Amino acid sequence: MTFPEPLDSLSSDDLAVLQQCLSEERFDPGECLFRAGEPGDSFYIIDAGTVRVQLDREELDSEGTLGFVDAGSILGELAMLDHRPRSASAIADSPVHTRRLDQAALERLSQEHPGVALAVYQALGRNAASTVRSSNERLAAAVFRYKDPDVDAMVARARIAQATFATWSEKQVDALLLALARRVATEARTLAEATVECTRIGNVDDKTGKIGVASLAVLKTLFGEPGSGWLDGGGPDTGVREIASPVGVVFGLVPVTSPVATGIFKILIALKGRNAIILSPNRIAQPVCAALARSVDDVLQAEGAPADVVQWVTKRNSRRKTQLFMSHAGVDLVLATGGRAMVEAAYSSGNPALGVGPGNAPVLVADDADVDTCADNVIRSKSFDNGLICGAENNLVVVAARREELVAALERHGAAVLSAEETAKALAGPLANGRTRMSSDLIGRSAADIAARLGIRRERTIRLVVAPSESCAPDNPLAHEKMAPLVSLFTVPDIDAGLALCKQLMQLDGTGHTAVLYTRDEALAERFGNEVAASRMLLNTPATHGIVGATTGLLPSFTLGCGTFGGNSLTDNVGYRHLLNVKRLARHDPEREAVFDYMNYVNPSAALTSQVLGFDSLEVEAEGCIVRDNRGREFLDCLAGVGVMNVGHRHPRVVAAVREQLERMPMSSRLLFNARAAELARRLADLA
């Protein structure tokens, strides 16, 4: 039996003694060798297979993989040496064969063979030092832009493919997008089934519909639109025309909550702008993303597209590799959809990034709300795909006068509104178990499943769990985002208190994402829109359907900006135009130059006053009492040339007389006598 470095430095006799203390253990893929927080009471020799080292996920869509340990390595010796809890978990990434030495066996070895035990401790110390050295090298790599050959190769291929794809016509691109959307929509149910099978969250029916929206509904917003060359922006009055060009290579994160829908959405909007895209799926979603990749590759090949214009990160994806992609000099834009940690990493990568944040949408139910419609909408929306939509309702905030009506309506439409006792029991048990966040085991589970785990029973099928709450403190799990068919219910005395509570809830989670109001009062709707920091303000509509344009006029999208409220760079529903560089061709405008010259050389103070008053155009024509400007507007001239145009502009008799005199003598010399001046003086004297 072989031993890894540095244990193989022991003598053969010492190794024979050590071998007798080791116990063989085998693990199937997905089985845990040890978990973060457990006592460090043993170490492993990896004889065959690969072990994945990862952090326990606080966020479902943040990559937790730190790295991989292969055969011929020692694992777990640090915690055994310093007797501190494990800092990360070790999961079998393939069938793994190990030999394990626990603390009790090592202590026996110390008593019976102290020399061998000392040699083992020294070997473990050398291995631990090597591990620390590697950590320092990885830290230096993060600071000094370490190069990964796989990352470099993928980005290089993407740049070559994008340069070729940039020459495609609009007709070719639209044909490709149509073929992709149709292929994915046709396979939507199969892909939805595969998604649920590998992620174990959500439900097939809703994921099928979601994939349909991400493919066909998104295609509808792209097909026939200009994705390159001249756009329709600017308008004839400005003299500016817009020209679209690709951003280049896009790196897109694909979350575990909606891997297929987000994947095809990002592919469509990237390709519409003639960009190449490298997609990095969450590790859990990699099997279904591999199926999506095969379908996409088939279409790309059939349509003659460059093979590397769409690529997928499949080999040993980790936080480190993801960071290398996001900060790579050959990546032009990062399109981040995932947990807060990954989005923050995207924005700090040094490359331009479009990211989103978590959702914690409050729903304010006003005095005049239609509570029956509200209850029906909330249940339909929050139960969709088992509550995995980031912009779905999370907190119901109802004025006290309507609380009982709302509770009755919720119960009537299939919700289980918990009693105070049921809520307290749930928080102490499976719902949170004393933590400040909802248990990750409940994420994406059905309401019926969650109710069963909480010991909640009703005579009808439970579609949504509603838990009353009072505290908006950070340590209240019910005040945070809940990616499950579960909402909190807060009661407030009046609408002012409701608005204040909505703001507080969004400060905990979901700042800038989505907020919902149920009211018939347009003045209240306007106030809600002005006061609450949300990029999507929904009125009397289900949030899940409203944020993607199914029940509103918003753009269908699976990347929803939260603005600077939530630390994002945009508030929009991201579409293909966000993945374009829009250039502007501006022509020389002599009329604008005339205004500029007037301001500088004629009368600066008067020009400034005119601009403040809105008279910032050029007068180009006048007739009678009308003056026309260079924008085609007409003005009734009450100034009349400061009183000298008392017969109007361009009066025919005046024009004829002036023309006659111009043909004789435009201006008097003032030295000789002038008959016209004398005649004018006589007539004025007669009048006076």
Which tokens sit at 635?
């003005």
510-569 confidence digits (pLDDT tens)? 899 999 999 999 999 999 999 999 999 999 999 999 999 999 999 999 999 888 888 888
CB atoms under 10 Å from CB of 413, counted, come to 17
- From residue 592, how far is each of 603, 617, 620, 635 by CA, in Å? 16, 8, 13, 20
- Predicted confidence at residue 530, as pLDDT, reads 95
Which tokens sit at 323?
């960071």
Local confidence band at 134 (pLDDT 50, 70, 90 cut-offs): low
Q: Is residue 57 scored above 60 in pLDDT?
A: no
Q: Strand, coil or helix: what is 204?
A: helix
User: Helices marked H in 303-354 — which ranges?
Assistant: 319-326, 340-347
Output the pTM of the full model. 0.79
Q: Is residue 16 within a helix (H) or strand (E), and if so which, with residue range?
A: helix 12-21
Measured between alpha carbons, how far is 103 from 81 in angstroms, rounded to an integer? 10
Query: For all residues of the chain together, what is the average pLDDT?
Result: 90
Strand 276-281 relative to strand 249-254, pairing: parallel
* Cβ atoms 76, 90 nearer than 8 A: yes
CB atoms under 10 Å from CB of 571, counted, come to 17
175-215 confidence digits (pLDDT tens)? 999 999 999 999 999 999 999 999 999 999 999 999 999 99
* Cβ atoms 3, 10 nearer than 8 A: yes
Amino acid, single-letter form, for residue 300? L
Measured between alpha carbons, how far is 124 from 22 in angstroms, rounded to an integer? 15
> Per-residue pLDDT averaged across 102-128, rounded?
86
**b vs e for 459-484, b when ≥16 Cβ sit within 10 Å of the residue's Cβ?**
eeebbbbbbbbeebeeebbbbbbbbb
Amino acid, single-letter form, for residue 427? L
Which tokens sit at 200?
């174990």
User: Helices marked H in 187-318 — which ranges?
Assistant: 188-199, 204-212, 218-222, 259-272, 286-302
Catalytically active residues are 390
246-259 confidence digits (pLDDT tens)? 999 999 999 999 99
Measured between alpha carbons, how far is 425 from 432 in angstroms, rounded to an integer? 10
- 98: which DSSP letter? E
Amino acid, single-letter form, for residue 568? N
* Cβ atoms 54, 62 nearer than 8 A: no
370-419 confidence digits (pLDDT tens)? 999 999 999 999 999 999 999 999 999 999 999 999 999 999 999 999 99
**b vs e for 233-245, b when ≥16 Cβ sit within 10 Å of the residue's Cβ?**
eeeeeeeebbbbe
* Cβ atoms 621, 648 nearer than 8 A: no
> Which residue's structure tokens are 């919720």?
410
> Which residue's structure tokens are 């019910």?
478
Strand 229-230 relative to strand 240-246, pairing: antiparallel
- Predicted confidence at residue 135, as pLDDT, reads 53
Q: Please provide the size of the chain in residues.
A: 688
